[in-house]
Amino acid sequence: MEKLDAPLYNAVQQAAKAQTRFCMPSHAGAAQGSLYASCGFDYTEVEGLDNLACPSGVILEAENLAAKAQGCAHTLFVTEGSTACMHIALSLAKERGAVGCIGDMHKSFYGGCALLGIEPQCYGTIEEFLSKPLKNADVSAIFYTSPDYFGNVADDFRLLDECKRAGILTVADAAHGAHFPYSGLLPEAAAGRADISFCSMHKTMGAYTGGALFNLKDSALYDRAVYYRQLWHTTSPSYLVMSSMDYTRADWSVNGERYYKNIAEKRREFEINAQGALYAVEKSDDLSRLVLRFDGFDAAEASSYLLSECIYVEAAIRDKLILIINPFNADKLHEVSRALSGFKPSVKLKEYPHIEREQRASSGKVCFVAPSEAEGRVCMNEVGFYPPGTPFIKRGEVITKEDVKIITENAGCTFGLVNGKLVVLQ
């Protein structure tokens, strides 16, 4: 491959040639074994490699190129995933006043609110939020998720337009949409549209785990965003992750259209082969998010079956199996078709009732109790299934008998527990 316009990656690649290193990390770029195949690229803030806390060299150049690709004014690199981006965004939002959210939010939103002492105002839909004139809105910043875990994007044009006129900060959790700017076959990216957006390059692109982008539509919040990144981010960012982000952005900028044209073709072939199968292919705004529905059956059974065939999928959520198609696996979709041709679902999907919970104060000392002892206690930590990471019990809600049953039956995929215990008000 020809040399790409990737300043940080190129600088780290040059530094990796060093034969002798007396700096962190202490594997010194010379550790042996297949696990350490990339250790030569794993550096710290040595001369020539810039500093993420106050970038002025190759990191800043790489961030500026990422901003251009995303279609926004500024982009900040983050090596701790969209969770750290969420906390930066919440810090900026809190400065303006009350914070709200629309629809399901990732647990990092509620965790960040708890850390920052924010009591969010929650709205079920965009229509509900816009049902009253925004000049009298109860919030100064509104968070929403687009795309969701199933690859569907929010119809947010009216939301963004009316919030702009009302001076309400808009924040899009676009964690699963990092790839959108690189092909006309994909939806429009949130960056450059919402005031703040963030996305995880490791989820849908070629970056190593943790690589995320914090995007700013204009320059108004740039200084404060850099300031909050300094407060929230580790002082030991991974250069391996950052280099992979820079390289992937450059690669996708050149080859993205070709990549997604091939993905579209392979998906069409898969859908043709799926005709008459015991699952249906769900419609998705993102062609690279393949969602298979096993109507009335638990998709976790299909996930386990594919694992027995040495095929890993992204997630099984109720009756839906989720696969992420990328340039590195698109040509292997036929293996999924082949494997599922021998699969017959048998585990019926468990239906859980909608639970109305009492809301109480959510401040005070906490303690930890077994689920069997939690009925009637005030939950002090969001609880839900991972994936997708959206809670069904929120901080301050009273735990019901039905909740205890659901948690006990799904302990292996439930987040919010601490060593198997629930966090409750003392």
Q: Give 2's pLDDT tier (boundaries 50, 70, 90).
A: low
Q: pLDDT at position 386, please?
A: 85
Rounded to an integer, what distance in angstroms lies between the CA atom of residue 418 and that of residue 173? 26
Give this prediction's pTM.
Answer: 0.93
> In Å, how far are 139, 248, 393 from 384, measured between CA atoms?
26, 32, 7
The three-state secondary structure class of 143 is strand
Q: pLDDT at position 140, please?
A: 97
Rounded to an integer, what distance in angstroms lies between the CA atom of residue 16 and that of residue 177? 31
* Residue 352: Cβ within 10 Å count: 14
Among 139-148, 291-300, 350-359, the least confident range: 350-359
Q: Which residues of 305-322 are buried (b: 16+ CB within 10 A; e: fewer)?
A: bbeeeebebbbbbbbbbb
Mean of per-residue pLDDT scores for the chain: 95
Per-residue model confidence as pLDDT tens digits over 159-177: 999 999 999 999 999 999 9
Is 90 exceeded by the pLDDT of residue 352?
no
Is 70 exceeded by the pLDDT of residue 17?
yes
Q: Which residues of 11-50 are buried (b: 16+ CB within 10 A; e: fewer)?
A: bbeebbeeeebeeebeebbeeeeeeeeebbbbbebeeebb
Is 60 exceeded by the pLDDT of residue 194?
yes
Query: Are the CB atoms for 271 and 325 separated by under 8 Å?
Result: no
Which residue ranges form the domains of the chain, and what is each CATH number?
A: 7-252 (3.40.640.10), 274-340 (3.90.1150.150), 366-425 (3.90.105.10)
Q: pLDDT at position 137, please?
A: 84
Rounded to an integer, what distance in angstroms lies between the CA atom of residue 242 and that of residue 208? 8
